[in-house]
């Protein structure tokens, strides 16, 4: 999953771009729900939120390393529950 750093300026550009609705406004800055973020695997070739963020504050969450296979499984799980 990806995460949003303190550099977030609360511009709200990323939130509507997420195909998994993993992004929401937190108490101080926008936040990504790691259980919903597939790094856009299954939807796009590149993380859409990173593409649109004007201050490049969306980065890989090193504390939650995931393989492409795991991300794909997460995607399939999310789609299956819809």
- Interface residues with ligand SF4 (CB under 6 A) are 2, 4, 8-14, 17-18, 20, 22-23, 30, 32, 37-40, 47-49, 52-53, 55, 57-58
Q: How far apart are CA 24 and CA 72, in angstroms?
A: 22
- Give the residue with the Cβ less far from ligand SF4, 49 or 65: 49
In the bound state with ligand SF4, the residue whose beta carbon lies nearer, of 12 and 76, is 12
Instruction: Give least dist CB 76 to ligand SF4, A.
Output: 14
Cβ 10 vs Cβ 25: under 8 Å = yes
3-state helix, strand, coil in the chain (%, to 5): 25, 15, 60
């Amino acid at each position: 999953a990806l995460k949003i750093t303190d550099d977030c300026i609360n511009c709200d550009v990323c939130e509507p771009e997420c195909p998994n609705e993993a992004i929401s406004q937190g108490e101080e800055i926008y936040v990504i729900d790691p259980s919903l973020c597939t790094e856009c695997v299954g939807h796009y070739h590149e993380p859409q939120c990173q593409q649109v963020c004007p201050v490049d504050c969306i980065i890989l969450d090193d504390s939650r390393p995931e393989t492409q296979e795991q991300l794909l499984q997460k995607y399939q799980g999310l789609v299956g529950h819809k």
